[in-house]
Amino acid sequence: MKWAFTLLILFLSQAVCAQVRLSLEECIDYALEHSLQLKQQQIAIETEENALLQSKLSLLPSVGLSSDYSLDKSDSQFGGSLTANLTLFDGLKGLRNVESAILSLEKARNDALVREMELKIAVTRAYLSCLLAKRAVELAEENYRAILAQRDLIAKKVEAGDRPAGAIIEINSEVAAGYSLTVNRRGEADIARLDLMQLLEWDSPAFFETEDPEMEIVQPDFGSYSRLVEEVYGLPQIASGEYDLDIALKQLQVARSGLLPTISVSAGFSTGYCPVISDSFGLQLKNNYLYSTVFTFSIPIFSHYSAMTQVKNAELAVRHSELQLEKSLLEAEREVRLAINQASVFYHNLLAAQEKMAAANEALRICTRKLENGLATVTDYILSMEKFYEAQSEYSTAYYQYLFQIKILDCYLEYHETKRN
């Protein structure tokens, strides 16, 4: 009895797990919360914050405290000193490093937006692939059930002598093909769902079901998308290139500062104590007190041409960033234009597939009635069924392709507005 109760609990738990249904928005939210890549990007942001703090602290004077003790055959001595150093002028190198660190932090935050947008698009693609695979299973099962129903009908007609015996053999072959197709489609659906679960960093042992988003097929407003081409600078991936260029320009300024003189000041005092001397401890510290202030003016004359090499390398880095930004602009513009064009193409393909499916459905209905009345052969029915199944598959593919392109364009618009605001 105990094992039966255990089996019942397991069955109920699996039934509950099977009822877990996630919408596309819920999957995206889950992925954003659990993505290891986004967590790594957050670490990168915190690292840049530490680097910015360090660059600011580098502008402050450095202070050090030291002590020494010497011992020889005749006596021993104690000493101590406190020193401070401050750079008054270094060609604004320290300030440029702070500005560069600020830009690096902003770039890290922008890169997080890029990773977030890429993850949303990837989850959307995987989610819609699951829906398409799920729809393919439903179509295969509908097709299989329809063939089974016709096989039963033909079997009755063969027994009644209204059909030749070869008819049942022919329809049985189609039944086997329909069963094989159904099994393959179920396997593809499981693989698509596993791919989505892996992308989500799904940490639950339970599977989940997807929800088909309701979407009315209407002519999209391509005018709202076309401005993305004109304002491609607003996309976060372009902003990353702009930050890279700004950082390269700051590093060029840092390199050029190495050609300028530096001015620094250091101050310190020291004192000491010797036990052999009869003066008191406090008097010795007072008498041995030394204070110094040193101003240093340094002019770089020859350093094996290293400073000039750094400048040239920094100039090359600027040129490389400019070319990379130009390349990113062209790629982003191409991606946006391609997405708009594909959305238009898939929309018209969807309308055509819808008409084709309606025509194939009507043809199948007529062929089925003819088959029942003995006016059509099994081969005619099979061909009509295959055309209807093909039309349904084409419609489902066109629908989810169109839906995916619209989701991509909406994602571009969302992050374009986020960057601009």
Q: Give the tens place of pLDDT for each residue, 348-372.
A: 999 999 999 999 999 989 988 887 7
Contact 353, 270 (CB under 8 A): no
Give the containing element (helix H, strand E) for 419: helix 378-420
Backbone angles phi, psi at 166, to 5 degrees: -65, -20
**Confidence label for 3 from pLDDT (cuts 50, 70 and 90):** very low
Averaged confidence pLDDT in the chain? 83
Return the structure tokens found at 302: 């020859």
Residue 75 banded pLDDT, cuts 50, 70, 90: low
Q: What is the distance between the alpha carbons of residues 152 and 157, in angstroms, rounded to a whole number? A: 9
* Least reliable range by pLDDT among 33-47, 107-121, 149-163: 149-163
pLDDT of residue 19: 54
What is the CATH class of 20-68+81-261+299-420? mainly alpha
Please give the pLDDT value at position 4. Answer: 41
Contact 250, 103 (CB under 8 A): yes
Position 88 scores a pLDDT of 87
Query: Using 50, 70 and 90 to split pLDDT, how confident is the model at 164?
Result: confident
| Residue 115, amino acid | R
Instruction: Enumerate long-range contacts of 323-332, CB under 8 Å, 24 or more apart.
Output: 324/241, 324/244, 325/238, 325/241, 325/242, 325/244, 325/245, 328/237, 328/238, 328/240, 328/241, 329/232, 329/233, 329/238, 329/241, 332/232, 332/235, 332/237, 332/238
Pick 413 or 256 by higher pLDDT: 256
Q: For residue 50, what pLDDT is reported?
A: 96
* 107-111, 282-286, 376-380, 381-385: the lowest-pLDDT one: 282-286
Query: How far is the C-alpha of 106 from the C-alpha of 203, rounded, in Å?
Result: 32
| CB 307, CB 258: distance < 8 Å | yes
The one-letter amino acid code at 409 reads L
CA dihedral 384, 385, 386, 392 (to 10 degrees): 110
Q: Do strands 21-22 and 76-89 pair parallel, antiparallel, or not at all (unpaired)?
A: unpaired
Each residue's pLDDT tens digit, 30-56:
999 989 999 999 999 999 999 999 999
Helix or strand (DSSP H, E) at 207: none
The arithmetic mean of pLDDT across residues 199-205, rounded, is: 77
Here the tokens at position 169 are 């053999």
Q: Does the pLDDT of residue 105 top 90, yes or no?
A: yes
- Using the predicted structure, report yes or no on whether residue 5 has a pLDDT greater than 50: no
> Does the structure show a pLDDT above 50 at 309?
yes
How does 205-216 read in b/e, with b if 16+ C-beta sit within 10 Å? eeebebeeeeee
pLDDT band with cut points at 50, 70 and 90 for residue 24: confident
pLDDT of 420 > 70? The answer is no
CA distances from 381 to 148, 156, 385 (A): 13, 17, 6
Which pLDDT score, from 0 to 100, does residue 13 have? Answer: 44
Q: Are 147 and 385 in contact (CB under 8 A)?
A: yes
The rounded distance, in Å, linking the Cα atoms of 394 and 382 is 18
Residue 131 in tokens: 């829906």
- CA separation for the pair 406, 67 (Å, rounded): 71
Long-range contacts of 334-337 (CB under 8 A, 24+ apart): 336/225, 336/228, 336/229, 336/232, 336/235, 336/412, 337/229
